[in-house]
Structure 1
Amino acid sequence: MKTNYNWGILGLGKIAKKFATDLQSVEGANLKAVASRSLKKAEEFAEDFHAENYYGSYAELTEDPEVDVIYIATPHVFHKELTITCLKAKKAVLCEKAFGINKTEVEEMISTAKTENVFLMEALWTHFVPHYQYILEIIQQKKYGEIKSLTADFGFKAPYDLDKRLFNKNLGGGSLLDIGIYPVFAAMTLIGIPQKIEASAKFSETKVDEECLMTFSYANNVKAHLKSTLLEKTPTECIIELEEATVKLTSRFHEPPSSIEITTKDGKKELIEFPVATLGYNYEAAHVQQMLSENKTESTVMTFENSLRLISLLDRVLEKIGLKY
């Protein structure tokens, strides 16, 4: 059974730096190679994170025979093409969220993984961090009864630079795919697929959503109120009203370190801390290695079905607000 894996990273922006930082803490993980369209940037990244090789093109890394698994950290619009190229080169792939720009792309990525019989997973790291695993267990066990409502937000004040990725429609810019995916993911994993979606948005000059407000409606009058915005800093919390308690995932609920506040109907309060020594990306990387060691081609946590359900919800929201990439 293979226990050591050579990683490659495609796309060397901010999130790649965070992932590379945490990869150093994963047992059996070795950063073998990195690639950027700028050779100088690749060289600097390799030096900073002790990668053995660096390339000035994505193709060169994909063709490196010593690389076992590739983390794709480019803008969303390049995910499908790069993922398929890597899979056809028989490289396992961990591809950053949003997996693709739409369901059609995600279906093609998954179909290729199945055809090539190569591992593929969407890098939605929240699914793997300790506090989120804990909250999932609470909800699944119905420890405090059924969910009555959920409120989740994610917002920060983005510098209004129309040349940057967040405001560039050609790069899949906008709040929904970049950060709105987290509140949507929370509603999906904690409640399920809504019967009805209502959504509205504010748009930038470049025709991407600067802000997106969503209401997911479920059976028994259960609702999820969700928000993503590039216009202001928000609490970035997830508050779940249950029959017997209110459970709150505190600020920046999608990432560690985090805490969970539980207030029961009789007034008892409990604060559960989840201290984490890393940034949190190590959990998904370790999971990928575990799956590979078991010869799996699909995650048992962030399954293909989860990715398809998630992108389908994002598609429904995009249709409601009239945004098409």
Structure 2
Amino acid sequence: MDRVIRWGVLATGGIAASFTADLLAMEGAEVVAVGSRSDASAQAFAERFKIPRAYGSWAGLAGDADVDVVYVATPHSAHREAAGLCLEAGRDVLCEKAFTLNAGEAEELVQIARDRGRFLMEGMWTYCNPLILRMMELVRDGAIGEVRTVQADFGIQGPFGPDHRLRDPELGGGALLDLGVYPVSFAQLVLGEPDSVQAHALISEEGVDLNTGILLGWSGSGASALLSCSVTGSSPTTASITGTEGRIELPHGFFHPERFVLHRAGREPEEFALESGDLRGFAPEAAEVMRCLRAGEKESPLVPLDGSLAVMRTLDAVRDRIGVRYPREITPA
């Protein structure tokens, strides 16, 4: 149960570097290989992090039998291709969010993993954050009563030029899949998959969403979620959950919080914060993957595949409402 887990990293961009740095600081993790579409990029990344093997192709990394699990850190437009290649080669996979471009592609990945008995997990680090786990315990225990509303936003300051990846439909650009996936995932963590989806967006000349507002509804409980994402301005990037007996407020950076505040009627506000021994950054996510692999589990109870599929269905519904399509979608949304 304490065996070392050998990681491969597929892609060499900023998020791959951040994840690798966190892995190297963890006990029981070893980064043994990196793969890229170019030898030069793979070699430079390997030298930077002292990784023993570098491959100038995704297939080279996927075929390395010494790799237990591959972290896929490409743009989400390539997640279906990259993660599918690794799963079919017999590697377990942690795939960055958004899981894929659409629900159809995500369903294909899940089917490949289940058919081949491989582990697969979406890299939604929010779901593994120690404070988010504590928050959900409070919600389930009725600390704020019945949940009525969820609010969350994620906006970053532009402008981003037409040649930026966030404006490129070929790369699944726009605010929704890069940023909006966090508010949607947060709302569905609390309330599950919605029954109704409404959305409005500012669309760029290239055909991607620059600023999107989302209203989700749950008919059974009457609950709703008001969410937004933007690449045209820096928003508070906060979240709140309001119930019949109180509310929970998460400050800036709600998707990887270091503290939150519980408000209950007739009581002083209660602050919850990460403790000195809690894992931070990408470490909780990586630790959950390694726990699952050591236990022989094929998916994580913290980030279940059915939950990732449900989020993708909601993102598809939002895109349907705002009229955004991506040229590289393998399966039509």
> Normalised by the shorter chain, which TM-score bucket?
over 0.9
- Partner Cα distance (2:48, 2:275) in 1: 26
Matches within 5 A, 1:183-262: 183-219=183-219, 220-256=221-257, 258-262=258-262
TM superposition outliers: structure 1 runs of 4+ over 6 Å: none
Deviation by residue 1:201-250 (Cα, 9 ceiling, x = unmatched):
11112110011100112234322100000011111011111112121011
Structure 1 vs Structure 2 CA RMSD: 1.5
- Deviation string 1:171-227 (CA, Å, 9 cap, x unpaired) is 111111111001001111111222211100111121100111001122343221000
Cα distance in 2 for partners of 1:92, 1:158 equals: 36
Q: 1:287 maps to which residue?
A: 288
Aligned to 2:177: 177
The offset of 1:7, in angstroms, is 0.6
> What is the Cα deviation at residue 309 of structure 1?
0.8
Write the letter of the residue equivalent to 2:139: I
How many residue pairs get matched? 324
Long gaps (5+) in structure 1: none
Q: What do the CA deviations read for 1:273-317 (whole angstroms, capped 9, x no partner)?
A: 225776521111111111111112121221111111111111111
Which shifted more, 231-240 or 268-277? 268-277
Counterpart amino acid of residue 282 in structure 2: Y
Output the CA distance in 1 between the equivalents of 2:161 and 2:182: 23
Change beyond 3 A, Cα 1:8–1:159: farther
**1: CA distance, partners of 2:321 / 2:240:** 24
Deviation (angstroms), 1:255 = 1.2
Give runs of aligned pairs for residues 4-43 of structure 1, distance below 5 A.
4-43=4-43
Partner Cα distance (1:31, 1:11) in 2: 13
Q: Which residues of structure 2 form unaligned runs of 5+? A: 327-333
The residue that corresponds to 2:107 in the other structure is 107
The answer to whether the 8 A contact 2:143-2:246 is kept is no
Q: Would the aligned equivalents of 1:175 and 1:229 in 2 still touch at CA under 8 Å?
A: yes
CA contact (8 A) 1:151 1:226 kept: yes
Q: Aligned partners of 1:90 and 1:176: how far apart in 2? A: 31
Identity of aligned residues (%): 36
The answer (yes or no) to whether the contact 1:22–1:278 under 8 Å persists in 2 is no
TM-score normalised by length of structure 2:
0.93
- Deviation (angstroms), 1:267: 5.5
Larger mean CA deviation between 297-306 and 91-100 belongs to 297-306
Query: Is 2:34–2:61's contact at 8 Å kept on the other side of the alignment?
Result: yes
